[in-house]
Structure 1
Amino acid sequence: MAGAPLLRGLLVAGWLYWTANAALTALLVPFVAGRHGSGAVVGWLVAGLGVGHLGGALLSRRLVLRFPARALLAAGYAAVGVAFLVLFTASSVAVALVAVTAAGVPGAVALVVSVQRVQMGTGDAVRGRVVAAFQAGDALAALTGAVLGPAVAVLFGLAAALPALCGLLLLAAVVAARLPAEGSLPVAELASTGREEAADPVYLT
């Protein structure tokens, strides 16, 4: 991916997003225990997040066809960051439930957009390796976030860790907003088979 700035940008933005997402998820239980004092609330919040993801999956096809991918990714990551910030500052369970449900919608849309752009913009000769690299990066980011979240909370306190990690989601949105307007993967250079074919272009505007 050395010659593909679009893929590098998608990888970096996705890595920041999944790291922050996993870190915030790891802190959800201690937050709920301290703020609301009920294990049942965790179940409601997880259910709300699932409902939001379902809604986002249903909306994603229409949004992908109507709006630029770069805008969808930037707006999606930013919306998740804001929704999580509202969730972790909410004093009532109702507000927290609305916020976490809202977070699921743009989160699902962003996931669909990033996967679609990687697959559409990668030639047949390297698609498997590129997709595997992205999946490995997302898994590593999730593992990093799961360790990073509790560590930051221990070092600086839960009250400081939560908004800082929400800020990391907003940083992912900034990176996504700076993705190239359009690009294509140099398949002839990346493929070890030596096939002289170009990937379908990826349009982000």
Structure 2
Amino acid sequence: MTLRVAIVGSGPTGLYTFQKLIETAEPLSIFIFEKGDRAGIGMPYTSETADRRMLANIASIEIPPLNQSYHDWLTSQPKAILRSYGVDPDTFDVRTFTPRMLLGEYFRAQFVSLVGKAEARGHFVSIHEGTEIADVVPEGRHVRLETTVGPADENFDRVILATGHMFPIDDDPTDHYYPSPWSGLIDADIPAAEVGAMGTSLSAIDAAMAVAC
């Protein structure tokens, strides 16, 4: 019988797992469950958790290629699309930091290509977008997945959890304090003032960009 493998989460961890799985010569039945509406993007790179002005903290030179490198994919995009994300199509290179949402579109495109490659190699792929997994239940030699609306239609031989991370729940922002750029700062109207940022990580860069914008 064909081995049934479920991947829970289709962000970068799920994508690289999927890429490795389809290299096997043995046909597999691969089921991909994604809570979001579009599989392949990854939670940190969606419009729900990011803004077009927020930069990713990883450049093409640091990203293992999927079907193609991030730089090659960017090169293949219309210049107008790159400009709409604030990327200069004539000057970017493999070390350029780009908006998170643009990186998410790259992952989405690679996911679609990987699905086609998987099917061409004889694997069966079933994609379940908008499906949140609530529990993973071992049952003898198989595993059952429970969604938020009931059990999934299949039992699985293997389940890979690739659900990533969740941003911490911030305290409510005030008119002068924002726990993170995601708590309202990116959309706030900041008057001329002295601004302090605790920390110098990517979040601090996002905060500086938010204030400047």
Greater Rg by CA: 2
Scaled by the length of structure 1, the TM-score of the pair is: 0.28
Would you tell me which structure has more helix in proportion to its own residues?
1
Of the two structures, which has the highest relative contact order with CA contacts closer than 8 Å and spacing of 6 or more? Answer: 1
More strand by share: 2
Tell me the TM-score normalized by structure 2: 0.27
